[in-house]
Amino acid sequence: MWINPEDLTVTQWQVLNEAGELVREAPSLGHRQLLEVYRYMVIARAYDERAMRLQRQGRIGTYAPFSGQEAAQIGSAYALERSDWMFPSYREAPALWVHGAPLEYSLLYTMGHVFGARLPEGVHAFPVQIIIAGQATHVMGSAWASTYLEDKRVSLCYLGDGATSQGDFHESLNFASVLKLPAIYFIQNNQWAISLPRSHQTGSATFAQKGLAYGIPGVQVDGNDVLAVYQVTMEAVRRAREGKGPSLIEAVTYRNGPHTTSDDPNRYRSQAEVESWKQKDPIVRLRRYLTGLQIWDDEREQALWQEAAQVIEQVVAKAEGVPKGTLAESFDYVYATPTPRLQEQWATLERGR
């Protein structure tokens, strides 16, 4: 008679184990594509490490690192068509790059440039969302528009585990399910919502099961296994494009660094925990697989990291070469017609000069 939580079992989907060995059939990615995915992951790690140093040097503002989550982001973004829509939070720079955003835009955003969040024409992604779960309602609206236009586009949003506690998340799931919208909710369960552990975030055994109450299928995937992430996201994309409605994906991963550069993770998690997750490093795992395929070796590895360093140097130089914005510019992009309150603030600014 009762529907009991203990009656539900969820098996985590995995393709590559931690040793880089196949545990089930790999997705249909050719060698060129595998190497492209690996290149994205290495450049992402190099960027993240450099961005942390830039912030400590005072050259960018507050920064949200993503090292450890490269497979979750790049594997999922790689499954999308460029015509599909992406809705990121503040930690999804690698996903945006795969989807066509230039790397320097991520730096410009952290430097406080007004146009840092304005992506080039043709990049189908919304600006970075810092309001927790705000992008959940946006993805639902975008998917609803695609249904109305019959354009066969899929809309995917990235959420942290903390976002599943917000009302926007649940309202969006309900609408998307009822209307059978082509939306994908991709939860990066990196174990911590700032300092709140996953165990204090939800009473559910998994985040993957949260869609079931709304009639949405869910899957839990090893978020450090880029092949598994790509595979389940491709399935969600297929379902959405065929009109079968939304999907919910929980990628179990870990953020190696702090929540942001203003956070000290040593206050709430142990070094032993961090080290245990580093054994599951997504980059190391894919490198072992590529080596086993005999399409990778130490010489290529060294050359790629050198290339990544050069790419990041060029990106930093390009971003720092853009003239700094002014406070006055921020008044130009709030309302089409300035409100009396905005005009009053502008007048105050002018008097203070």
Rounded Cα–Cα distance for residues 6 and 31 (Å): 42
Q: 188-206 burial by CB neighbour count: b if 16+ within 10 A, else e?
A: bbbbbbeeeebeebbeeeb
The DSSP line for 38-83 is HHHHHHHHHHHHHHHHHHHTTSS------TT-HHHHHHHHTTS-TT
Q: Name the active-site residue from 99, 153, 255, 285.
A: 255
Run of H or E residues at 276: helix 271-278
268 is catalytic: yes
DSSP structural state of residue 229? H
Pairing of strands 218-222, 196-197: unpaired
267 is catalytic: no
Q: Name the active-site residue from 259, 285, 287, 289.
A: 259
Pairing of strands 247-252, 218-222: parallel
Six-digit token pair at 147? Answer: 């249904």
Q: Name the active-site residue from 24, 31, 238, 268.
A: 268
170 is catalytic: no
Catalytic residues: 255, 259, 268
